[in-house]
Amino acid sequence: MARRPLPRILSSGSASITRSREIARTAADSATDVLHPLITVVRGLRLLAVSGRQKWVATPKERRGPKLFLAAACVLVVALVPYGPILALITVMGAAAWKGRERTPVRTGPDESETARLRSLYEALVPYFSTADDPDPLFAHGGDWSKAFDAYAFDQDGRLTSLRISYPAYFMDGDAAARSRIEQLLHTKSGRGREYHFGWDEEANRLVLTVLDALSTTVAAQRFVTAPGETVLGFTDPDSVSRTVPVLDGDTTVDASPVVWRTGGRSTEPHLLAVGQPGGGTTTLLRSIALQALQNGDVIIVDGGGTGEYAALTGRNGVLAVESGLGGTLATLEWAAHETERRLITANLARQSGRPAPDDIRRPLWILLDRPGVLGHLAAADGRPDPQELLRIPLRHGRAAQVTVVLAEQFDALDTLTETVRTHTRARAVLGPASPEQIEAVLGAGPHTTPPPEVPAGRGYVRLGAGPVLRLQVPATPDPYDDATSDAHRQAVLDLLPGRGDPMEAAPAREPPRTRAPGKGTRLFSGAFENRRPFSVCMGMGCPRARPSQPLGERRSRRAPRAEPGG
């Protein structure tokens, strides 16, 4: 009997199986869509039951009885209320549906692009954080980047906003050059156009990179909430200072972090030096300081550049002089030096006699000089003394005499500053575009941040004494007489200006009497020097100029003929 061949699988069998699978998958998807509300409610009921059980277990045993009685009472009330069971069922189903809804899963790690960015940054740091003789290197080509980067964060665009790096202990983190190379590499690899802060923790061998928010440039000049002897230089990052003040930013009031400079008898940095490029904001800083100083003090302003940036302050109450010429500057600074001596002598006499110091020497006196190097060149060409030489007494003894000196100069004229100015101006500010080397040369230390991509006016760094280097944004304080000034900023400055006072009449100059203090022969200046307020100073080419040794009061009396002795 012949053997029958086995039946052959038809070629259409696989196609029918595939079609059957698609039909089954479609039916399952349709059933899932239809039953999705029921699945959601069931999931929610399960979660509610688990939550209720956890709360019941966490409840102390002595409180379970009252809670059970309260629950039974609620059930009884719901059962007796019309439509109560139906409403209770609807409420439970709604709560279960809300509890069982599908939530977006929380991402627990970086995505593919972020991982690639972190790995690229890790590979770039390998040559700096590894050595050939390290048996277990933390940084190695092809190594695990997650061991070195233990914390990181990205923004919506996939760019780094913070990164914490663990580096080996043998890295020379105390070397400024080595740290600078790491910071420059991280700045380049993390993306330009942003400011980064680098926090080095030498004890734990960690480096924290943080992206800084841009400092606000919309805060205009205004009255700041400060104590006597405090001046707001500008505003900085919230985590850099432990103090906030309410400021008006546009139409809203916000809490800003100020850089407060303390002056007076207990200040450790009684004098300030601001350096910057042309248009960097040093004049804006001096104008802001002048407006704050006029609240409870007197101000002398020397405009070495002669640009008229301080014309709005001329003749105002509390503004003793606004000078732009060499002769007037020398006479004004000579008066300021004599006034400092007078304050010291008066305070010494009052202290020896057991009396409080008079009010006139307790009122702060501010000396603001903008670009004194220009006047120094003019004085050298004319064979006259440098105006900075007249600042020796105010700089050395100004703290005890309530005299504060503020100077502003440009980078190209730093060599014109005298040694006395460099020594006694321990509060420093750098405004405008500047290289890290220039910033370190002025402040004595480099900033721990990268330079901003765009530097607005009044933007820079500040360091008070031996403190840290802070970012700084000076309040917008433009010249109100400038046509380019906006109406809002112009009105803000005009609102802070004091009223104009009547010019003081010049008294005839007389020989100051000599008075000896107990124990030591000292001369007390009287007449024009004894008066705390110098006379109004004329600005212009046709105004008479006083000689360096001439009292400030004689400048206005030179036009009138002097009376002969005995006449």
Q: Could you read off the pLDDT of 284-337 as tens digits, one per residue?
A: 999 999 999 999 999 999 999 888 999 999 999 999 999 999 999 999 999 999
Half-sphere exposure (CA, 13 Å, Cβ side) for 194? 19
Residue 54 lies in a domain: no
Residue 18 lies in a domain: no
Each residue's pLDDT tens digit, 140-172: 998 889 899 989 998 888 888 999 999 999 999
Largest CA distance in the chain: 168
How is 418-481 classified by DSSP, letter by letter?
Answer: -HHHHHH--EEEEESS--HHHHHHHHSS--SBPPPSS--TTEEEEEETTS--EEEE--B---TT
Whether residue 337 is found in the same domain as residue 447: yes
Q: In the block, which residue shows the tokens 């914390």? A: 151
Q: What is the pLDDT of residue 218?
A: 92
Half-sphere exposure (CA, 13 Å, Cβ side) for 251? 0
Please give the Cα distance from 315 to 500 (Å, whole number).
6
Residue 174 lies in a domain: yes
Whether residue 436 is found in the same domain as residue 305: yes
3-state secondary structure of 231: strand
| Residue 534 pLDDT > 80 | no
Q: What is the pLDDT of residue 55?
A: 85
Contact 379, 325 (CB under 8 A): no
The pLDDT confidence band at residue 13, using thresholds 50, 70 and 90, is low
State which of 155, 180, 212 marks the end of a domain: 212
State which of 499, 521, 539 marks the end of a domain: 499
Tokens of 11: 């070629």
Whether residue 366 is found in the same domain as residue 394: yes
State which of 499, 525, 554 marks the end of a domain: 499
| Residue 532 pLDDT > 50 | no
Contact 404, 367 (CB under 8 A): yes
Q: Which domain holds residue 405?
A: 230-499
| Residue 504 pLDDT > 50 | no
The pLDDT confidence band at residue 100, using thresholds 50, 70 and 90, is confident
Q: Tell me the average pLDDT across 377-404.
A: 94
Q: Tell me the average pLDDT across 49-75.
A: 86
Q: In the block, which residue shows the tokens 């505003």? A: 235
Whether residue 292 is found in the same domain as residue 412: yes
Whether residue 365 is found in the same domain as residue 442: yes
Phi, psi torsion values for 416, nearest 5 degrees: -85, -10
Residue 549 lies in a domain: no
The pLDDT confidence band at residue 104, using thresholds 50, 70 and 90, is low
The pLDDT confidence band at residue 562, using thresholds 50, 70 and 90, is very low
Residue 482 lies in a domain: yes
Pairing assessment for the beta strands 427-431 and 365-370 based on DSSP bridges: unpaired
The pLDDT confidence band at residue 482, using thresholds 50, 70 and 90, is very high
Contact 434, 460 (CB under 8 A): yes
Tokens of 522: 């000292």
Contact 498, 294 (CB under 8 A): yes
| Residue 566 pLDDT > 80 | no
Whether residue 142 is found in the same domain as residue 236: no
Q: What is the pLDDT of residue 276?
A: 95
Whether residue 319 is found in the same domain as residue 362: yes
Please give the Cα distance from 391 to 403 (Å, whole number).
11
Q: Where are the alpha helices (DSSP H) in 81-175?
A: 84-99, 112-125
Contact 316, 498 (CB under 8 A): yes
Residue 557 lies in a domain: no
Please give the Cα distance from 268 to 481 (Å, whole number).
36
Q: Tell me the average pLDDT across 374-380.
A: 94
Each residue's pLDDT tens digit, 243-269: 999 999 888 999 999 999 999 888 999
Residue 539 lies in a domain: no
Please give the Cα distance from 424 to 440 (Å, whole number).
18
Whether residue 271 is found in the same domain as residue 151: no
| Residue 565 pLDDT > 60 | no
Question: What proportion of the chain, given as a percentage, has pLDDT over 70?
Answer: 83
| Residue 530 pLDDT > 60 | no
Angle, helices 84-99 vs 13-58, to 10°: value is 110
Whether residue 360 is found in the same domain as residue 474: yes
The pLDDT confidence band at residue 10, using thresholds 50, 70 and 90, is very low
- Sequence length of the chain is 567
- What are the beta bridge partners of residue 151? 164
Phi, psi torsion values for 485, nearest 5 degrees: -75, 135
Whether residue 419 is found in the same domain as residue 319: yes
**Average pLDDT of the chain to the nearest whole number:** 83
Tokens of 433: 């575009």
Residue 33 lies in a domain: no
The pLDDT confidence band at residue 22, using thresholds 50, 70 and 90, is confident
Phi, psi torsion values for 7, nearest 5 degrees: -65, 140
Q: What is the pLDDT of residue 53?
A: 85
Model-wide pTM > 0.85: no
What is the tally of structural domains in the chain?
2
Whether residue 151 is found in the same domain as residue 275: no
Pairing assessment for the beta strands 365-370 and 252-256 based on DSSP bridges: unpaired
Whole-angstrom CA distances from 461 to 84, 262, 472 are 69, 17, 5
Q: What is the CATH number of the domain that holds 242?
A: 3.40.50.300
Whether residue 452 is found in the same domain as residue 335: yes
Query: Sheet containing 470-473: which strands, arranged edge to edge?
Result: 258-262, 230-235, 470-473, 459-464, 427-431, 272-276, 403-410, 365-370, 298-303, 319-323
- CA 147, 148, 150, 151 dihedral sign is negative
The pLDDT confidence band at residue 15, using thresholds 50, 70 and 90, is low
